[in-house]
Structure 1
């Protein structure tokens, strides 16, 4: 019986750093304007990263598979 081989390091994994970098740089999005549907920039910028991060994880999973 063989054991499954681990994937190892793949350069596409660096894409997963994008959400961390984008959300840790607080002075960039610490502002109220522009509003989108009544939400200040501070909130919708963070909200947009939730589905975007899920999409990035999916892409990395499919490419590194």
Structure 2
């Protein structure tokens, strides 16, 4: 069983909820946890692998 510190109230919890995954090119990723009471107060993170959220871009027009 994992014990984590809540990112909002700073208390320890044995029921951590992942509320954010931080990505960094130089330092790797970090995970933010919350207790079950604070977890609903965090904004929902978008799924970077959700194909419906991918932007459809037209190829850039080149100057003539």
TM range (shorter): under 0.3
Task: Compare the two structures and name the one with the higher strand fraction.
Answer: 2
User: TM-score scaled by structure 1?
Assistant: 0.24
Task: Compare the two structures and name the one with the higher helix fraction.
Answer: 1
Structure with more relative contact order (C-alpha pairs < 8 Å, separation 6 or more): 1
Which structure has the larger Rg?
Answer: 2
